[in-house]
A and B are shown apart, each in its own frame.
Chain A
Amino acid sequence: MKRIITLAVVLHCSVLLLAQNSFPPVDKSPMDISYFPVNYPVLKIQDKTTGPLIARVLYSRPMRDRRTIFGGLVEYGKLWRLGANEATEIEFFKPVRINGKRIHKGRYTLYAIANENSWTIIVNKDTDTWGHFKYDIKKDVVRIDVPVQKMSEPLESLAMTFEKTATGMQLVIAWDNIKVAVPITV
């Protein structure tokens, strides 16, 4: 009786051990990086850059996975980490302006508050943290409200990219059937 229980427990544990080693698994929401100028690293090794790197965003990409994203997983009106795992980081390699405010070069954390028709994008000075669980409003650098745009082709993974504009660039954030564009003056 006792022996069967012991055997069962040992079997169970050994199967668990076989299934794992001590190294970190590949993330379910993989990390990714986007640059402005777009595709900068490839341009750089092809000697096709026309200027220095201005910004990059480092974020993890959660999947939609058949869930309702906006108004569901991402609750309207509540702080959202705008990614997964480590806090989403934007780095500026020269000073920029967002919503009229001068932002020094350096690393910042991005958060968002999504609503049905607009999002508030938050640039915060508290870097190297996890998600939004220790968000400190006192470390906000700037906030900007941006309108929600609908997309006809929904995206499975959260995506971020930079696009060139007349005054600099915009950070485009898209997931499911929604996108927003955050204007950044260079």
Chain B
Amino acid sequence: MKGIFRLLAILCLLTIISCSSNKNEQPKETTTPPPDTTHTTIETPYDQYTVVDVSPMDMTYFPADYPKLKMAKAITSPPLARIVYSRPHLQNRKLFQEVLKYGEPWRLGANESTELELFQHATVQGKRVNAGRYILYCIPQQDNWTIVFNSNIDSWGLHQDSTKDVMRFTIPALPTANHVEYFTMLFEGKGTEAELLMAWDGIEARLPFRF
């Protein structure tokens, strides 16, 4: 019996440790009210020298986890694609009531425009997309999202210049059981077939790429 209690105690301890280390993954929250990460005014000059962004930047490769695979010498071919984006979080807001509006362009991120870099040309919905850098934005509707590839690279995400649109792709937007607090982009797939998964709150959309 004593053995069981010891086991229970160890399991509880493990659970507490794993939960608390998960908490450590979260950036330190500030006490300021949640900023509107989609319609913020521009503050210049911004103090990036000292301040960590409330919507932290992240990047995702295809093949997925490319840098780690490369480090482990598990891959020798060059990467095919990379997304650099910032990750706004919901902070108790409802995505399509308080953050985004149907039919209005959304920067698919926060801060700097979300960047897609194709290291070689790809095919998306039967259309050839040349290698190079693009910025992405989205026009969300209830059932579908239009993902726009635009050439106005290295820009801040607040204004989309539609005269620089390169291509538009409409994909289904599907409800999921997941609750995704931080807007998430990642590549799934293997070999030459990739899907760019975009997920936030309870919505997922997937854009297929063939390399």
Contacts and interface: CB of A to CB of B under 8 A. Distances in A.
B50 interface: yes
Contacts of A110: none
Interface stretch (A41-49, A72-80, A95-103, A114-122): A41-49
Interface stretch (B60-68, B123-131, B141-149, B166-174): B60-68
Given A8-B8, A30-B27, A58-B59, A128 B66 contact: yes
A31 B56 contact: yes
B67 A15 contact: no
Nearest to B25: A25
B180 A161 contact: no
Interface in B51-73: 52-53, 56-61, 66-68, 70-71, 73
Contact of B58 (A24, A128, A174): A24
Interface in A45-63: 45-46, 53, 56, 58, 61
Contact of A34 (B25, B44, B48, B152): B48
A161 B26 contact: no
B74 to A, nearest CB: 11
Contacts of A61: 52
Nearest to A56: B154
B27 A26 contact: yes
Interface string B76-120: 001100101001010000000000000000000000110000000
19 contacts: A4-B8, A5-B4, A12-B14, A19-B22, A23-B184, A24-B58, A24-B184, A26-B58, A26-B87, A28-B24, A30-B53, A31-B57, A32-B53, A38-B45, A61-B52, A130-B70, A131-B71, A155-B50, A161-B49
Interface of B: 4, 7-8, 11-12, 14-15, 18-19, 22, 24-27, 42, 44-46, 48-50, 52-53, 56-61, 66-68, 70-71, 73, 78-79, 82, 84, 87, 89, 112-113, 152, 154-159, 178-180, 182, 184, 186, 199
